Amino acid sequence: MTSYLRRALVASPTAQAQAARAELRDAWDWCPIDEADLVIALGGDGFLLQTLHAMLEARRPPPPVFGMNLGTIGFLMNEWRRHGLDDRLDRARAFKVTPLMMTATGIDGRIHALPAINEVSLLRETRQTAKIEVTVNDRIVLEELACDGILVATPAGSTAYNLSAHGPILPLGSAMLALTPISAFRPRRWRGAILPDRARVSLRILEPGKRPVSAVADQREIRDVAQVDIAMDRARELTLLFDPEHALDDRITMEQFIA
């Protein structure tokens, strides 16, 4: 495939992924990831997220990523197969994934800006219930949410932590975000909201000294936050490639029918 002449190969440190990397190492002339037109990622969902985050931090536009599952679940991955890779890449379907940007202000006043591909989650740090004021587009929608935490999930991440917290599954391309409470105590019957993906969400921690809260952007945590602002980061779009018979949009849709 002429558009993917320069390929990079990355693999998680697990024995299984390293063995697969050894099988592919001599099949093509691989290049460094910062020179690649395409990245082949071997591992699980966690490793893929690490790879995507590293690409977001690079200065150049992120190249497409074709992941092959050598981890546990592999929801964001394709099936591992050594042979026929060129044909699979020729037939692959591309899906755009837009990350969130989390801007977390700590109790100490320091500001941390981190991207999140799946979700931004706030979690209580102690046995004390977190109390959070929820604002959407500069309008306070919940003056006090007493809970273990709250999260904002993208469609790509809606089947991950968000689904475990009983949040809605969002079809890929729905242009929506899930705002989902984690073990809400008050208001007890509030089950969350579905928001347009252009919404800006602000989460202010009430009594942050007594009831400390941490903020997590995918796998990266900031502790003792005072406020977290969340919005889509449309300037840094990612592209994932999937086998047509195992495409991401179909997998997200079918998750709604799993008992």
d(CA 158, CA 238) in angstroms, rounded, equals 17
Collapsed DSSP state (helix, strand, coil) of residue 33: helix
* HEC string for 207-229: CCCCCCEEEEECCEEECCEEEEE
Catalytic pick among 26, 37, 45, 87: 45
Q: Phi then psi for 82, rounded to 5 degrees?
A: -75, -35
Pairing of strands 111-116, 176-182: unpaired
Collapsed DSSP state (helix, strand, coil) of residue 155: coil
Give me 195's structure tokens: 């928001």
How many helices and strands (H and E) does the chain possess? Answer: 5, 17
Decide if 45 is catalytic: yes
DSSP lists the bridge partners of residue 238 as: 97
Give me 13's structure tokens: 């440190």
Element (H, E) at 164: helix 161-164
d(CA 75, CA 103) in angstroms, rounded, equals 27
Question: Annotated binding site for NAD(+), which residues?
Answer: 45-46, 118-119, 148, 156, 159-164
Residue type, 250: D
Cβ neighbours of 159 (radius 10 Å): 23
* Closest-CA residue to 201 (of 166, 169, 153): 153
Give me 193's structure tokens: 């909201």
Catalytic residues: 45
